[in-house]
Each structure stands twice: as C-alpha cells, then as structure tokens.
Amino acid sequence: MPFIDIGANLCNESFNKDIEAVINRSKKNDVTHIVVTGTSEASSEDALKLTDLYPEYLSTTAGIHPHDASSYQAFSYHNLLALLSNEKVKAVGETGLDFNRDFSPRQKQIEAFEKHIELANETNKPLFIHERDAHRKLTEIITHHRDQFSDGVVHCFTGEKEALFKYLDLDLYIGITGWICDERRGKSLAAIVKNIPLNRLMIETDAPYLLPRDLDPSQRIKPKSRRNEPSYLPHIAASIANCYGLDVTEIAEHTTATAKRFFGLN
C-alpha cells in the first residue's frame, strides 16, 4: 500500500543528525516517495543536494515562502529558474500568501507570489501554494493568472468550506496534513474534507511540523521532541479515509496516483 508525502521540510535542522534513519522509517511504513519542500533560495538549494543523496526516493520544490517574501530580489528569479531546470525539482514553491503572521509585508508577498507564477509559466511546472487567512486575495490573484500555469496545489489546507470550493473551482489540488487528526483545531476540516474529489486530493506531513495529536501512545516520539516525520503519513491517510467512509487502501491508491501525475514522478 504505497503512500507519497508531497510536503516534508527535511532540510529543517531537526533532521540534521538522523536523516537516514528518518528516511528508513518512512520506507518501512510504505512511504514510497517524498517531495522535499524548498522555502527559500538557500533551503531550495539544500533540498536539491539532499535529493542527490537519495535520487530514487526524494524530489523537491524550489521557491520562497511568503514569510520570507521580503528576501525576494531581482536575481532571485534567475536563481530559482536555474534550480527549476533540474529534473529533480518538480514544482515552484513554496509560495503564496500568509496574512496570519505577516512576517513579510503583504504587498511584498503578493509581488513574490506573482513572480512565482511567472516561473511556473516559464518552466511549465506546477505551483506549490501556501495560504493562511488570505484566501480571498489568493483566489483573486490566481483567477487573474489561472491560464498562465498548468497546475497548482494548495498545500496543508486548513481553511473553511468557502475557500475549499473556490480552490476546487479554480481547478487546484488540495494537500491535507495531520491537522485533520487534531480533535480541536481539525474538527471543521474533518467535516468538509470529503468534498474534495479523490482525483484532487493529495496527502502530506509538513514534517517536522503538525505531529498528529492522536497517534497511538506506543508510536509517539518523546514529548520533548514533538517532531513530525514522513513515517506517520499512513496514520494521516487513515484519518482522511475515515472522513470519506473509505478504506485507507483507496486513499493510498488515489493520492499516490494523483501525486505521481501532478509532480511527474516515475
């Protein structure tokens, strides 16, 4: 029963000492491929270097997260374009809008996001999109540019039904994480996730963030760590399957096929 994790931040410093063990645990838990998330020019370069160590198992994205949109410069476009020319870099991003924390000014986020759309158009690679508390502005921008890029996934979706339906109407894919396993914050998401057509659904851990709250205590890592990792992806898939009223094997089959198609994986 194969699973593909479409979003894991494996270049996060929490993985520096045991990345090989993390990958081995993922393989033992039927995770057959991981897409490593690039969130800045530097981390995108590091992610590509990591894929060189595990070329059959890892792919990556390249982009600048909206938190770091202020770092986007004229030369950033050319640096990212060079990374995206590598066949192991499968998508443009992480990019998008985050009006929840506003670590970068909103206008800077908008400008950087539009430049990433240009990159997607030039490279014919899909967008890997982040959105928090900004779905109206994001959908406005995407609507204006929708014919300029092939595909896009709103990763780590945690929003409400209005946002979900707008993204689906724009022919976007949706990535679901362990947020859905949170009996408090994930309750509204669990109620609407079944509205996502199975051919538009993908799954991810967003490791090391969003450790599923309902892991079996026998599987849970030491509380002082709280680190999420790709080996927990089947647990997330089981929670999603429960929301759909399906067997987890069906979620695995559909999401794996969709991820392969979206990212152009062999």
d(CA 155, CA 179): 12
Q: Domain coordinates of the chain in residue numbers?
A: 3-263
Contact 84, 91 (CB under 8 A): no
d(CA 89, CA 50): 11
Contact 153, 173 (CB under 8 A): yes
3-class SS of residue 235: helix
Q: What are phi and psi of 172, to 5 degrees?
A: -100, 160
Digit-coded pLDDT (tens) for 8-31? 999 999 999 999 999 999 999 999
Q: Cα(first)–Cα(last) distance of the chain, in Å?
A: 17
pTM of the full predicted structure?
0.96
**What one-character DSSP code corresponds to residue 236?**
H
Asked if the peptide bond before residue 208 counts as cis, ω within 30 degrees of 0, the response is yes
Task: State percent of the chain over pLDDT 90.
Answer: 92
Region 105-118: mean pLDDT is 98
Q: ∠ CA(195), CA(171), CA(77), 5° rounding? A: 130
3-class SS of residue 260: helix
226: alpha, beta or left, given left = phi > 0 and alpha = psi -120 to 50?
left
Q: ∠ CA(239), CA(154), CA(42), 5° rounding? A: 110
Q: What's the pLDDT score for residue 219?
A: 60
Q: What's the pLDDT score for residue 186?
A: 85
Digit-coded pLDDT (tens) for 33-72? 999 999 999 999 999 999 999 999 999 999 999 999 999 9
Tokens matching residue 164: 């979900």
Digit-coded pLDDT (tens) for 254-265? 999 999 999 999
Which sign, positive or negative, has the C-alpha torsion 235, 239, 242, 247?
A: negative
Nearest to 159 by CA among 141, 144, 179, 178: 179
One of 3.40.47.10, 3.40.50.300, 3.20.20.140, 3.40.190.10 is the CATH number of 3-263, namely 3.20.20.140
Digit-coded pLDDT (tens) for 215-243? 866 665 555 578 999 999 999 999 999 99
d(CA 97, CA 65): 8
Q: Which residue(s) pair with 249 in the sheet?
A: none
Composition of the chain by helix, strand, coil, percent to 5:
50, 15, 35
